[in-house]
Amino acid sequence: MMDGNETDVLIIGAGPAGTLAGTLLNREGFRVEIVEKQQFPRFIIGESMLPSSMALLEEAGLLDTVESQGFMRKFGAVFLRGKETCNFDFANQSGPGWKYTYQVTRADFDKALADKVQAAGVPIHYGQAVTAVDFADDEARVTIETPEHKQVVAKTKFVLDCSGYGRVLPRLLDLEQPSTFPPRDALFTHVSGDHRPADREEGKIWVCIHPGGAWIWIIPFSNGRTSIGVVGDPEFFRAFPAEPEAQLRAIIESDPNAAPRLTGMKVVFPPVRINGFACSVKRVYGPRFALVGNATEFLDPIFSSGVALALESSRRAVQLLSRQLRGQTVDWQKDYAEFVRQGMDTFRAYVSAWYNEDLQHIFFAPQRDPAIMSQICSVLAGYVWDKSNPYVTQASRALSLLANIARTQVRS
């Protein structure tokens, strides 16, 4: 990035939120540039997508790029607890949503999107980190550290913060707020030697409920490797005192569903641990900025909602920003903050119901109403803004009532 560089929009971060925003703003004719701290390809967690993202990628002209990568098709999600199974197939959604999506190695997925947006004419400044922002009435001045450790200042009309876990503006503008969820830890890696189910079942994500209270994800890739990870309270991990790889193996070996599938697994890289990933913010926009994707709020990985929410919030932010840059009045509170919140709140209800075990009662109930399970399937496919679905609009209440019915079934 050159000192004094001027743009209409400066995007921080070239993850899915950033590259989607770059593509859409460029298509609208704005001068947009992306500043990305790392060099691509780079590892990042967040590998299981939701079908709702497919339409957004298609609309932005990015779906062909994703399809051409040969990623593993994901047709659903399977929840396993001991001998019980609940198999959601995206073909069984109540709404007209996409019936499949992908399991993606994010290093490849993010690079493919970044290359596409760059080829369309959006400069991506790799290896450059935003370190400060100064908002004035008529512009924002963004300080960027170059790979040579020089500080340059770029001028822009608007900053879109798509920095994910970097949380650049939340930190710089003191917008950080603790999550309402207690801190949980995740321990994950990629492995080879996964004994997968065949055909349509191969690409589904497995979520195994460990007898000790944590859960394990199994996400198969088309390159023969599989992402595995454990999410649980810090006390859960303390019950398996060992170095990360030995700890991960001990947890897998003590789960009745993960153990047989992963017998003989070989770890591809030393397991990574993330502590306390849930985070939130006081507000998601200001006069010359908006927070997008994970820079807003991150709830929990259980329903693989991160990339879907990143893409939805990115598209919505761009719609409003385009109008604002053309001189129209925009209601960021109603049309952005409340919109993002609604999708988040739907997933929040499901995450809460997962950890208070309402969802386990529903998923493993002896009798499950297929019509209701289809409505829940649509939510798990990412359609969390669909007001025709009572399991969206009344999520907390509907799940709690349904769980109570399921509990009675178990008792009788």
**SS3 for 48-81, per residue?**
ECCCHHHHHHHHCCCHHHHHCCCCEEECEEEEEE
d(C-alpha 204, C-alpha 75), whole Å: 6
- Minimum distance, C-beta of residue 16 to ligand FAD, in the bound complex (Å): 4
Token pair 């950033």: residue: 18
**What are the start-end ranges of the E strands in 264-329?**
266-267, 272-275, 280-281, 285-286, 289-291
Q: Find the part of the chain contacting ligand FAD (CB under 6 A) among 32-40, 151-159, 194-202, 400-408.
A: 32-40
Contacts of 174 (CB under 8 A, 6+ apart): none
Nearer to ligand FAD, 47 or 358 (CB): 47
Question: How wide is the angle at C-alpha 347 spanned by C-alphas 346 and 353, nearest 5°?
Answer: 100
Structure tokens at 159: 């900053």
- Minimum distance, C-beta of residue 28 to ligand FAD, in the bound complex (Å): 20
Nearer to ligand FAD, 187 or 365 (CB): 187
Cβ–Cβ < 8 Å for 179, 278:
yes
The pairing of beta strand 124-126 with beta strand 32-36: parallel
Among 1, 24, 32, 129, binds ligand FAD (CB under 6 A): 129
Binding of ligand FAD at residue 168 (CB under 6 A)? Answer: yes
Structure tokens at 232: 């649980």
Nearer to ligand FAD, 112 or 403 (CB): 112
Among 164, 203, 271, 343, binds ligand FAD (CB under 6 A): 164
Binding of ligand FAD at residue 307 (CB under 6 A)? Answer: yes
**How many residues are given for the chain?**
412
Among 181, 206, 215, 277, binds ligand FAD (CB under 6 A): 277
Nearer to ligand FAD, 22 or 306 (CB): 306
Among 5, 15, 86, 318, binds ligand FAD (CB under 6 A): 15
d(C-alpha 154, C-alpha 144), whole Å: 8
- Minimum distance, C-beta of residue 258 to ligand FAD, in the bound complex (Å): 16
Site for ligand FAD in 355-394 (CB under 6 A): none
Bridge partners, residue 266, by sequence: 192
Tell me how far the alpha carbon of residue 168 is from its chain's centroid.
18
Among 9, 113, 117, 130, binds ligand FAD (CB under 6 A): 130
Binding of ligand FAD at residue 162 (CB under 6 A)? Answer: yes
Q: Find the part of the chain contacting ligand FAD (CB under 6 A) among 164-172, 258-266, 393-401, 403-411.
A: 164-172
Binding of ligand FAD at residue 14 (CB under 6 A)? Answer: yes
Binding of ligand FAD at residue 343 (CB under 6 A)? Answer: no
> 149's torsion region: left (phi>0), alpha (psi -120 to 50) or beta?
left
Among 93, 94, 294, 360, binds ligand FAD (CB under 6 A): 294
Structure tokens at 219: 């996400």
Distance in Å from the first CA to the final CA of the chain: 67
Binding of ligand FAD at residue 348 (CB under 6 A)? Answer: no
Binding of ligand FAD at residue 160 (CB under 6 A)? Answer: no
Binding of ligand FAD at residue 165 (CB under 6 A)? Answer: yes
Nearer to ligand FAD, 45 or 55 (CB): 45
Site for ligand FAD in 35-64 (CB under 6 A): 35-38, 44-49
The pairing of beta strand 84-89 with beta strand 280-281: unpaired
> 265's torsion region: left (phi>0), alpha (psi -120 to 50) or beta?
beta
H/E stretch holding 331 reads none
Per CB under 6 A, residues contacting ligand FAD are: 12-18, 35-38, 44-49, 129-130, 162-166, 168, 186, 229, 274, 277, 293-294, 301, 304, 306-308, 310
